[in-house]
Structure 1
Amino acid sequence: MRSLLKQLVGESAIYGISGIITKFIGIFLVPLYTNVFEPSDYGTINIINSFFFFVGILVVFALDNSAARWYYDTTEEEDRKKTIASWFWFQLSFTTVVCAGIIGLSGFLSHRLLHTSDSNLFIVSALSVFTGVLPIIVQNWLRMQRKAIHTVVFSLLYSLLTIGLTIYFVLLEQSGVIGVFYAVVIANSLASIYCIFLLKSWISIRYLSIQRLKEMLRFALPMIPTSVAFWIINSSSTFILDYFYNLKEVGIFQLGLTISSAVTLFTSSFQMAWGPFAYSIIQNENAKNVYSTVLTAYTIIANFIALSVALFAYELLVVFTTPDYYSAYLVAGLLSFNSTIYSYVYILEIGNGIVKNNKPLAIAVLLSAVVTTGLLLGLTPLFGKTGTAFSMIFGNLVIPVYVYFAAQKSYYIPYKIALALSLCGFSFGLYILYLLIQTEIAYVNVLIKGVFIIAYIVSGFAALYIWDRKAFDAIRQFYDKLKTRKNKA
């Protein structure tokens, strides 16, 4: 089991390097953007991104999930090519139709959502979706092949290209908001040229299998309403906040979300490694124990990172932004915990994935969408962006809870749920307690934050000792080995 966990940690670390560098560059650009964009400009960008996030989910048609599952059904390359080619040709065709429709309705969409007659933002963004088809498929294909380093190099260069072009258009050319989307279209187009050469033998039309496509679509079908519901949970808040308030409030909320995304340095790298890893060890006799241990380890690390970002969100805003954006600190803090919630689903839902049953996840996300929408409509008018953040957290919690009970019936895994829940509750409780006792004195607040982080670390080891003694002993042995090596050196 240790060798398998070491493999997962290694691949997560490799993916994490890309995420850390990319996120760091993105955060580095925040002070530059806050001197160029007003909060309302951030609001406009968020409206566009939220709309096309929905479009992106729609055109993928959940076939990324299906492709990963069918890919591992065989070791024969010819059969795997049927899976990738079928996915590619369907998504390319569907994306073409959808994006053509958006371009045709660009004037109407601009008037209704952005309160302007300028349709260029929607036209350029639609082109970015079309040109992004191949890069999306290639990144998934590389992860399926467990080519972590190649995946990271491609993703990193792709991100750096996008960021470099964004700097050029926004800061040098001063193209305004549309410069952000010019950068995406050009970066996608250049990346697609490389993807064609890389994937050309895998997406040949001769590998297109209607039968395989039908099977994959049938598996993905329950995920379509789920994808829409997922968008409601994570992105409808933008439009509701704009409806009750204005684009400025949306922009400050978006910046808070950007700061909280620092948590995804860990969660996204884990997610990229987890799916292919988890499915690849299905036949291993220690698989269930590995899944359980991963949940425990993930919970400890994820909550530590979320608590750290949440507590120091204000300081991050002071360093990277201007006073107009400081009020985003509470949103950033709350959404730091929200960034970890859906990641639990990736671990808890693995049992349903193994038995090829996506229905529980679909039901969970639909229930979450209903709860989130109700909370957004109730809390946003009363508490603004803070109410929006709380709505997203409590709405998202529905998913891992429902998925856990459903998956355990299909494929039981001995998770240490009591341990995970205690750590999640304690870390979030520490943050809420800080909000209640914070002072007007900066250095006192920093001292309190440091004490709270230490308290969480101590509580994490204490909880491990009580509920998972084997994991505690393994960590202690690992520490002893490091100490011995250090002494020898």
Structure 2
Amino acid sequence: MFQNLKRLGGDSLLYALMNVGTKIIAFIMVPIYTYLLTKSEFGVVDIIDRWTSALTFLVILGTDSALAFYYFEKKDEQSRRTYIQNVMNIRLLMVGCLLLITVIAGPLFANDLLKSEHGSYLLYLSIAILLLDTIAALVLTVLRYEFKTLRVVILTVLKMLLVAVLSYFFLTRIIQSAEGILYARIISGGLIVLLIAKPVIKYLSFKFDRNILKDLLKYGLPLVPASLAFWVILNSSSFFLASMKSLDEVGIYGVATKFATLITLITSGIQMAWRPYSMSLKDKPNHKEIFSKVYLIILLMGTTGVLFVATIMPYVFLILEQSYYSAYQYVALLSAATFLNFYYLIISVGIFFMKKTKIISYAFAGAAVINVILNIILIPSYSIWGVVASYLISYLAAIIYIFVKSQKLYYIPVSLWKMSALFFVMLAGTIGIVYVQEHALSPLYIVLAWVVYVATVGITRVDKDLRGTRNHETN
């Protein structure tokens, strides 16, 4: 068991370092972009990013989760290769269909959407980026499944560096517009594809296997609505804020969300390592005990991290302009929602093991509906706090539903009440800390919040669960 946990920890650390590196590069480039681009041009880049993000969900069609399952279910190399080839074919076909739709429909809306005479051309460039990223992403996914973690990390960081350097070059030397960044992304993507040309050629076949295609789509398609629901939850709030309040508040919320995503510096590493790790672990004799410990370890890390974020944010925001300072108060609760967005992957092993992926779609489709309704109700009265509440509540509803369903399908011996106690005490502590900071109360109240949280850890005896061994089928 120790060796399994050591592998997860080692891979998670490398992926965490990778994400730290890429996010640091991204944060460094933001002020450079704002210096070299006008606000409208920066807006074009943002719209293209959101557009490409939505298309990526359609291209993948849930085949990432399907491939994760069948890759580890199939033990021979040829079967695995055939599944990978069919996934590549599905994704390339989708890119082709999206290109056709863009060529036909793009001229009807692109110029108005992007406020540019070259709007359609910009969309075509985005499809080229999508194609290159689609090819590279699948190969990097397979490398993750083969536990070639270091190679994945190097290629990912290299791509980000190439995009940053080439973007700066294009913007300062050739074309000072959104096109410069898109050209940089195309060249960077092309260079990465060249570096992985051998496996790319290996996985290109342009032949569909009907039975494998059926397996992949049956497993993966039910996850597409969930992916689109994620997109709605993550993006709709900004549009509601803009229409119901003002762009100033959208800017404050945007700064808060950027800082909230810093928690992914930790979670994204675990997330990338989790799927191959969990799938390879399911045949181990003591795997349920390992899963129960991982559930609690990651929850402890997440809840402690959110409380830490709440405690330090006022000091972190001193580095920003005073006009953005008020954004600090939203960061911790947004971080809690961001953590839930990651944590559902950890506590849903039963759903993926039993191929009941429709549950994920139901959960997040419902969460998207809840999010939209709460935004409409809460934003007029509570502005950004209404957004934060709708974001957190919708994710909380989804993760509770997913956990209960997963446990019914594939029971993992972990206590729901202990997990709930840890999370909700953290949530209450976070709200209390922000209240203390906003009203300039004694810092001792912040210490009290931490004491209550630590006491909860002790009362629930989580430490005993992490040390002990118990029967797999009992509470």
Give the TM-score normalised by structure 1: 0.86
Counterparts in 2 of 1:247-286, with a 5 A limit?
247-286=247-286
Counterpart residue number, 1:350: 349
Counterpart residue number, 2:11: 11
Over residues 21-66 of structure 1, what are the superposed CA-to-partner deviations in whole Å (9 max), with x where a residue is unaligned?
A: 2222323344445555677766554443223211110111111111
CA contact (8 A) 2:37 2:176 kept: no
CA contact (8 A) 2:252 2:327 kept: yes
Over residues 177-214 of structure 1, what are the superposed CA-to-partner deviations in whole Å (9 max), with x where a residue is unaligned?
A: 444433322222221222332332233346x4232112
Report the AA paired with residue 58 of structure 1.
Answer: L
SS across alignment from 1:151: helix
CA contact (8 A) 1:46 1:250 kept: no
- Alpha-carbon distance in structure 1 between the residues aligned to 2:102 and 2:263: 33
Counterpart residue number, 1:288: 288
When residues 406 and 454 of structure 1 are mapped into structure 2, their CA distance, relative to the original with a 3 A threshold, is closer
- Alpha-carbon distance in structure 2 between the residues aligned to 1:74 and 1:295: 27
When residues 252 and 171 of structure 1 are mapped into structure 2, their CA distance, relative to the original with a 3 A threshold, is farther
SS across alignment from 1:222: helix
1:402 and 2:411 are equivalent in the alignment = no
Report the AA paired with residue 226 of structure 1.
Answer: A
Counterpart residue number, 2:325: 326
Over residues 233-264 of structure 1, what are the superposed CA-to-partner deviations in whole Å (9 max), with x where a residue is unaligned?
A: 22222333333345554444333222111100
Query: Offset of 1:317 from its aligned partner?
Result: 3.6
- Alpha-carbon distance in structure 2 between the residues aligned to 1:50 and 1:407: 31
Q: Percent identity?
A: 25
When residues 202 and 178 of structure 1 are mapped into structure 2, their CA distance, relative to the original with a 3 A threshold, is closer
Counterparts in 2 of 1:334-373, with a 5 A limit?
334-373=333-372
Query: Offset of 1:372 from its aligned partner?
Result: 0.9
1:300 and 2:295 are equivalent in the alignment = no
- Alpha-carbon distance in structure 2 between the residues aligned to 1:166 and 1:313: 31
- Alpha-carbon distance in structure 2 between the residues aligned to 1:137 and 1:419: 38
Counterpart residue number, 1:165: 166
CA contact (8 A) 1:461 1:472 kept: no
Query: Offset of 1:439 from its aligned partner?
Result: 5.5
Counterpart residue number, 1:484: none
CA contact (8 A) 1:43 1:251 kept: no
SS across alignment from 2:403: helix
Task: Find the partner of 2:458 among 448, 458, 462.
Answer: 462
SS across alignment from 1:269: helix
Report the AA paired with residue 205 of structure 2.
Answer: S
Report the AA paired with residue 200 of structure 1.
Answer: I
Counterpart residue number, 1:477: none
Counterpart residue number, 1:480: none
CA contact (8 A) 1:300 1:460 kept: no
Over residues 353-386 of structure 1, what are the superposed CA-to-partner deviations in whole Å (9 max), with x where a residue is unaligned?
A: 1111112112111111111111122223333333
Query: Offset of 1:137 from its aligned partner?
Result: 0.5
Counterpart residue number, 1:214: 214
Give the TM-score normalised by structure 2: 0.89
Query: Offset of 1:224 from its aligned partner?
Result: 2.2
- Alpha-carbon distance in structure 2 between the residues aligned to 1:134 and 1:68: 17
Counterparts in 2 of 1:68-107, with a 5 A limit?
68-107=68-107
When residues 453 and 304 of structure 1 are mapped into structure 2, their CA distance, relative to the original with a 3 A threshold, is farther
Report the AA paired with residue 82 of structure 2.
Answer: K
SS across alignment from 1:132: helix
- Alpha-carbon distance in structure 1 between the residues aligned to 2:22 and 2:445: 27
Report the AA paired with residue 154 of structure 1.
Answer: L
Report the AA paired with residue 10 of structure 1.
Answer: G
Over residues 54-89 of structure 1, what are the superposed CA-to-partner deviations in whole Å (9 max), with x where a residue is unaligned?
A: 111011111111111111111211110111100001
Query: Offset of 1:91 from its aligned partner?
Result: 0.5
When residues 409 and 384 of structure 1 are mapped into structure 2, their CA distance, relative to the original with a 3 A threshold, is same
CA contact (8 A) 1:46 1:254 kept: no
When residues 145 and 198 of structure 1 are mapped into structure 2, their CA distance, relative to the original with a 3 A threshold, is same
- Alpha-carbon distance in structure 2 between the residues aligned to 1:171 and 1:425: 50
1:145 and 2:146 are equivalent in the alignment = yes
Counterpart residue number, 1:186: 187
- Alpha-carbon distance in structure 2 between the residues aligned to 1:409 and 1:205: 40
Report the AA paired with residue 203 of structure 1.
Answer: L
Which residues of structure 1 form unaligned runs of 5+?
Answer: 475-489
- Alpha-carbon distance in structure 1 between the residues aligned to 2:63 and 2:399: 22
SS across alignment from 2:87: helix
CA contact (8 A) 2:436 2:445 kept: no
SS across alignment from 2:284: coil
SS across alignment from 2:199: helix
Over the residues paired in the alignment, what is the CA RMSD in angstroms?
A: 2.9
Range that drifts further, 222-231 or 234-243: 234-243
CA contact (8 A) 2:59 2:95 kept: yes
SS across alignment from 2:90: helix
When residues 458 and 36 of structure 1 are mapped into structure 2, their CA distance, relative to the original with a 3 A threshold, is farther
Report the AA paired with residue 384 of structure 2.
Answer: K
Query: Offset of 1:472 from its aligned partner?
Result: 5.6
SS across alignment from 2:379: helix
Counterparts in 2 of 1:208-247, with a 5 A limit?
208-245=208-245, 247=247
- Alpha-carbon distance in structure 2 between the residues aligned to 1:124 and 1:245: 33
1:126 and 2:127 are equivalent in the alignment = yes
SS across alignment from 2:73: coil
Number of equivalences: 468
CA contact (8 A) 1:349 1:407 kept: yes
- Alpha-carbon distance in structure 2 between the residues aligned to 1:450 and 1:436: 10
- Alpha-carbon distance in structure 1 between the residues aligned to 2:79 and 2:385: 50
Report the AA paired with residue 327 of structure 2.
Answer: A
CA contact (8 A) 1:256 1:332 kept: yes
When residues 428 and 99 of structure 1 are mapped into structure 2, their CA distance, relative to the original with a 3 A threshold, is farther
Query: Offset of 1:97 from its aligned partner?
Result: 1.6
Counterpart residue number, 1:376: 375
Which residues of structure 2 form unaligned runs of 5+?
Answer: 470-475
CA contact (8 A) 2:12 2:273 kept: yes
1:471 and 2:466 are equivalent in the alignment = yes
Query: Offset of 1:322 from its aligned partner?
Result: 3.3
